[in-house]
Amino acid sequence: MAQPGGNITGFAVLENAIAGKWVEALNEIAPQVSRVGLILHPETPANIGLLRAAEATVPSGLKLVPLGVHDTAEIERAVATFAAEANGGLIVVPHAITFANRDVIVELAARFRLPAVYPFRTFATSGGLVSYGTNTMVVWREGASYVDRVLKGAKPAELPAQFPTKYELVINLKTAKALGITVPPLMLGRADDVIE
């Protein structure tokens, strides 16, 4: 990754290890959850990598249920079916499908009273309970600096591909209250932003 070669370089938005942090965050904010529905696009290798990373970190007593989706209708069916059993929570994996259906997913989580962890701040600002992920504005700014360097003659192969160095935790207290969740003080203290 330090010397990607050819004409490729860039910035990753997430690393697979973050999936374990999503599981931890859900377990911390909603310890009563015994089943975790992971909303993902089942044919996307990056989503499968995140699923495998989540599976590797699931504590005993917590069941991980992949919810493969391709469109809005599948999201609605998958969440409704998953919510039919008690003690569920959701983790939303980043993909164009989940991002385009952000409001649908947040609304379904609220309707079925499912605590959920999301990959980006925009989900929490749209009413999601917790987001833990990269600040995409920082990534875009850093990406622009690479474009500037390439336009000034730098070779892409000489610019290391970069992974996030900081993730941000955003907690929506309005949503927590609506779900009857008391956010642990230690988690609140670690939050980069709290939506009241």
For the segment 154-167, what is each residue's pLDDT rounded down to a tens digit? 888 888 888 888 89
Side chain identity at residue 78, one-letter code: A
Please tell me the pTM assigned to this model.
Answer: 0.88
Q: What is the layout of strands, in order, in the sheet containing 63-68?
A: 63-68, 35-40, 88-92, 116-118, 130-133, 168-172, 193-195
Kindly provide the b/e burial profile for residues 93-130, where b requires at least 16 CB atoms within 10 angstroms of the residue's own CB: bbbebbeebbeebbebbbeeebbbbbbbbebbebbbbb
Dump pLDDT digits (tens) for 89-109.
Answer: 999 999 999 999 999 999 999
